[in-house]
Amino acid sequence: MIRKLLQITLITTTVFSYEIGLDKSSNIQKKAAEPKINIALVRDNSKDLVIDNSTGLMWQDNIDAKSIRKNRKDAKQYCRSLVFAGYDDWYLPRLKELKSIVDESKFDPAIRYGFKNVVSGHYWSSSPNLSDIVIALNVDFKSGQTYNNTRRGKGYVRCVRGNYNSLI
């Protein structure tokens, strides 16, 4: 009798534990499926800036960011000379910095929420293509992909400032 009672208890405990495990597993899956709200980017409409709190970078987002097209040399000079929103330490972003504002879940434009002045076109980075000195890297904000372009070609310019050691 005691043996039968122990067997029944063992079977009931095993089945009950298995059901709890399934229930816990389904709760974890539900939590993982919930969308995450990204509050890292903050837009300052009064200054036409986007601030990325996760990287410490401040991005130019005025009408110039979707209208000015230059070759790479002139794009670098434009950013170095830019006095905008009370700051004069702007620079042409490195590829890794430019890629940090790409949203791969979006298309046309593939840019993170917060930017208003965007063209689905190629934006210059300051990063060279190390295998060919005539070529430089840029990001196409239609797809979010990285491309090579001749340095003499025209591309859009979006300047950045801030935490210079971020994303190196």
Burial class (CB in 10 A: 0-12, 13-18, 19+), 111: buried
pLDDT of residue 149: 87
150 DSSP β-pair partners: 135
pLDDT in tens, 32-48: 444 444 568 999 999 99
- Checking phi first, is residue 135 left (phi over 0); if not, alpha (psi -120 to 50) or beta? beta
pLDDT in tens, 97-131: 999 999 999 999 999 999 999 999 999 999 998 88
Query: What band does 54 get if pLDDT is binned at 50, 70 and 90?
Result: very high
Report residue 136 as tokens. 């430089």
Phi, psi of 19 (to 5 degrees): -65, -40
pLDDT of residue 113: 94
More confident residue, 81 or 19: 81
Sheet holding 49-52, edge to edge: 41-44, 49-52, 57-60, 160-162
Close Cβ partners of 82 (under 8 Å, ≥ 6 residues apart): 60, 88, 90, 159
pLDDT of residue 24: 37
pLDDT of residue 3: 54
Residue 76 has pLDDT above 80, yes or no: yes
Residue 26 has pLDDT above 50, yes or no: no
Percentage of the chain modeled with pLDDT above 70? 73
Residue 85 has pLDDT above 90, yes or no: yes
Close Cβ partners of 12 (under 8 Å, ≥ 6 residues apart): none
Q: Residues for the chain: how many in total?
A: 168
CB 119 within 8 A of CB 69: no
* Mean pLDDT score of the chain: 82
Query: What band does 23 get if pLDDT is binned at 50, 70 and 90?
Result: very low
Q: Which has the minimum average pLDDT: 62-66, 71-75, 129-133? A: 129-133
CB 125 within 8 A of CB 93: yes
